[in-house]
Chains A and B, each alone.
Chain A
Amino acid sequence: MRILLLEDEKKINDMLTLYIRQEGHTVKSFLHAEDALKAFAMEGYDLVISDLMLDGMQGETFISRIRNQSDAYIIVLTAKVGSEPKLSLLRKGVDDYITKPFAIDEVLLKLRNIERRIEREHTDRFTHKGDIYAIKEKTNRITRNAVSVNLNPTEIKIIRFLMKHPGQTLSRDQIIGHCLSESEAFDRIVDTYIKNIRRKLADKDLIETVYGEGYRFKGVRHA
């Protein structure tokens, strides 16, 4: 995950940066809200972790600015107590808050959960005959009922393309145009890929052959 950290207390900033990096995330840390905002505008981040009490710009202002330009996850570090400040944070579009003094595990587990949620958001899903298929964007792997199925990248590309047009007959040329490189661009290779997909998924009906026209996807897409 790409994480932006804003915390004006240097010791806490250093500590968090270190621990989060150790978990394998990419962290950019800032002591001042202005710098953080500039960096956020330039690069994409999955998650913003921000302290609430900042010198200069108020934490709330910073959060509102981030929320105005992005849907990135926001976790707030707060030393405030009571439900009123928390409610106002949630109202501002903060996804979660961590109360100081926090346990490292609390922070890291929350990051892990957010990472999983981000992954889920970037996963295409469809069902067919009671089976649930999922294609994760990040890993480019397909699972059936959460069990990984070993499809190669081109096969996954083809499924993705078909999936995006459910119930629609797609010609071999269309498939080639969207999914294959020019070097392997001839009709019959599509048939081979489809055959392999059917075999690997052990599902003959998911992709239906429309004689003389092409292929039709019979799975049902869902969020």
Chain B
Amino acid sequence: MRNLFDFLSQGLSRSFKVTFTILFIVINVAVITVNTVYINATIERQNVSLRKMVEHLIYYTDEETALTYLEHYGHTHEIYLSYTSVDGKYTIVTETAPSNGDTYHIIIEGEKHGTLVIDNAQSDLFMANLTYLIVINAMLVSLYVVFLLYFNHQMKKQNTRIIKDMRHLQKNIDTVNFTQAYDFEEFSQIERAFEATIRKIKALQKSHRDAIEGLAHGIKTPLTIIRGLVEGIAQNRIEPNEAINTSIEEETQRISALIEKIIEGTMTDAHEVLDMSELVHASIERQRRLFEDKGITLHHDITPKIIVKGDNDALRRVLEHLLQNSLTHTPGGKSVTVRLNETHLEVEDKGSGMTKETLEKAFERAKSSTGSGVGLAIVKTIVDTHGFLIDIDSKIGEGTRVTIRLRS
């Protein structure tokens, strides 16, 4: 039964099922209501006219006419009635005897002639309704099945098409184009979704390819220097010395930083919907101990439920880098404040601050091997990927404030 139901409803959308069910109920209720009202009205009318007629009979008609009329009336109006004369000579009972009718005393020519019982016919209501309901529901079900069969047939056709399109897509993502129009809006939506996805994948592919090309290109310069120096030493062209060692170390650092940047840049997927407030809280909690250990007060002023689109891991890394920087550059006894509202995320410290020169180069790949500069460069890469903006204000001896504008 369940299988049959699944079969009948396969591929139908939830909204369609709900709509059909509601339609089903509404039609049934309507049929019952209309039928009941109609039947009630009819019965009421009949009863009224019957009673009038009976009164008329009682007072004005002779016995024979009255009885003939009664019999005829009961028959033609499908009204259940029975009549029994006082002397027991006359008995009229319709095919179905009245069960709970009203009783009237018939007086002919001034004398009581007999007792008439007329059924109210209320009991018929259920049966009458049932007939209608069966007919209407049978029609509805047939309609549903016919529709389903047609729908399934159409869907199968569309399925075949879309599978063909998908196969084509699988074989060659570069030349995909969906030329087939779909009859069902849902299929067109699938097609549009796929097209959008492919565009996205291609854009992503391109940005990855660019990133990797950039990396390859960027790596070649330091690599040339390292190779040149190492070969020079090996071939006794130059004397190994401290400066050359430093050079080699710096260039190695440059390569590492580049690789890191590419990984940060390409791994960021800024499309999750996430609660920035929670994320900031969590980051603060993770690092609170480190600040306490150093004697730094960590304030925070965070508006709850700030929702942004972004990459959870990447944004966490941003906060960690920023907090880490503040931790490194703020002496004990001073404070660090984290603020978050609808538009801004700020990390402000009362630390050592940066000189103008350092500030200008803050986002560049650090040539030094301290790593903090690399951290800021990563922060910038991630912020850029999210379409946010970043600013740094810093005064030597007073502190540093990093502001990330969440809506670009």
Contact = CB atoms under 8 A, between A and B. Distances in A.
Nearest to A102: B224
A210 interface: no
Interface in A15-29: 15-16, 18-19, 22
Question: What is the interface residue range for chain A against chain B?
Answer: 10 to 19
Contact of B225 (A12, A103, A105): A12
B309 interface: no
B221 A15 contact: no
A57 interface: no
A154 B231 CA distance: 46
B216 A12 contact: no
Nearest to A15: B228
A15 B229 contact: yes
B206 interface: no
B232 interface: yes
Contacts of A79: 216-217, 220-221, 224
Interface string A118-144: 000000000000000000000000000
A103 B231 contact: yes
Interface string A80-103: 110000000000000000001111
Contacts, number: 52
Contacts of B225: 9, 11-12, 15
Contact of B227 (A16, A53, A81, A101): A101
B305 to A, nearest CB: 48
Interface string A1-38: 00000000101100110110010000000000000000
Contact of B224 (A19, A81, A101, A105): A101
B231 A104 contact: yes
Contact of A12 (B224, B235, B237, B238): B224
Interface in B204-220: 216-217, 220
Nearest to B228: A15
B217 A18 contact: no
Contacts of A104: 228, 231-232, 235, 237
Contacts of B224: 9, 12, 79, 100-102
B227 A102 contact: yes
Contacts of B235: 104-105
B223 A101 contact: yes
B232 A81 contact: no
A18 B244 CA distance: 14
Nearest to A9: B221
B220 A100 contact: yes
Contacts of A19: 228, 232, 237
B229 A81 contact: no
Nearest to A22: B237
B247 interface: yes
Nearest to B238: A18
A18 B229 CA distance: 11
A100 B237 contact: no
Contacts of A15: 225, 228-229, 232
A9 to B, nearest CB: 5
Contacts of B221: 9, 12, 79, 100
Contacts of B226: 101
Interface string A152-192: 00000000000000000000000000000000000000000
Nearest to A11: B225
Contacts of A103: 227, 231
A21 to B, nearest CB: 10
A16 B227 CA distance: 12
Given A101-B224, A103-B231, A11 B216 contact: no
Contacts of A53: 217
A80 B229 CA distance: 21
Contacts of B227: 101-103
Given A15-B225, A79-B221, 13 more contacts: A9-B224, A12-B221, A12-B224, A12-B225, A15-B229, A15-B232, A19-B237, A53-B217, A79-B217, A79-B224, A80-B217, A101-B223, A101-B224
Interface of A: 9, 11-12, 15-16, 18-19, 22, 53, 79-81, 100-105
Closest 7 CB pairs of A and B: A79-B220, A101-B223, A101-B224, A100-B220, A100-B224, A15-B228, A101-B227
19 contacts: A9-B225, A11-B247, A12-B221, A12-B224, A15-B232, A16-B228, A18-B232, A18-B237, A18-B238, A19-B228, A79-B221, A100-B220, A101-B220, A101-B223, A101-B226, A101-B228, A103-B231, A104-B231, A104-B237
